[in-house]
Every structure is written in C-alpha cells, then in structure tokens.
Amino acid sequence: MSIKIRMRGKSAGGVAEVKALIKHEMESGARMNKKTGKPYPAKFIDMVEVSVNGTKAVDAQWSGAVSANPYMAVKVKANKGDEVTVSLKDNTGATGTESIKLK
C-alpha cells in the first residue's frame, strides 16, 4: 500500500518552507474495537525523511502519538528550482514518496 502525500513549497532567501499533508489513518494500537473487544492493530508512520536535491535535510522518527492524516511543515536550506522529496514509511512496511520543484 502506498501512503499519499500532497506537498507544496516556496523558497525565499535560501530557506524553503515545505508543507505536506499526509493521508494515513495513524492507529496507535491502544484503541479497542467495541464489537470484538480486541484492539485495532497498530499502524503508524515511523520514519519521515526530507531531502533536497538528493541530500538528506531532515530525518524524523514518529510514533502512534501522531494524529491521523498529519500535516507537516519544515524549513530547509534550498533555493528556487531545487527538488525537495518527502519519503515516509510506516510500521507495516507501507511507503510513500513525493517530490516537488521549489517556486
């Protein structure tokens, strides 16, 4: 399964703000199913990486404490025309990658 990412970014003065909206249910594994009495299986993003022109700029570790369909905004050193890529992986092995050229 692929994790969907919507991104936009803009650079000014050598610093770019990159915003990403991630479509993912982010289930912590602590909630119980009322019908069965069993917990919902954990499914959450655990690795986030932002790279600029192929060079890693941000490396983050997330957990089940992050809300469903998270929004992320980061600032990185980048100029107009640079390519910014956001890559994600969840604890079940699903991945997602999206790239944009900065305006």
How far apart CA 95 and CA 73 sit, in angstroms, is: 19
The pLDDT value recorded for residue 81 is: 96
Q: For position 38, which CATH number holds?
A: 2.60.40.10
Taking the mean position of all CA atoms in its chain, how far away is CA 97? 9
Residue 44 has a CB neighbour count (10 Å cut-off) of 20
- The domain of 44 spans 4-101
Indicate whether this model's pTM tops 0.85: yes
How far apart CA 80 and CA 100 sit, in angstroms, is: 11
Taking phi over 0 as left and psi of -120 to 50 as alpha, with beta for the rest, 92 belongs to alpha
> Per-residue pLDDT for the chain (103 aa), expressed as one digit of tens each?
689 999 999 999 999 999 999 999 999 989 999 999 999 999 999 999 999 999 999 999 999 899 999 999 999 999 999 999 999 999 999 999 999 999 8
How far apart CA 6 and CA 24 sit, in angstroms, is: 12
The pLDDT value recorded for residue 1 is: 63
Could you give the number of structural domains in the chain?
1
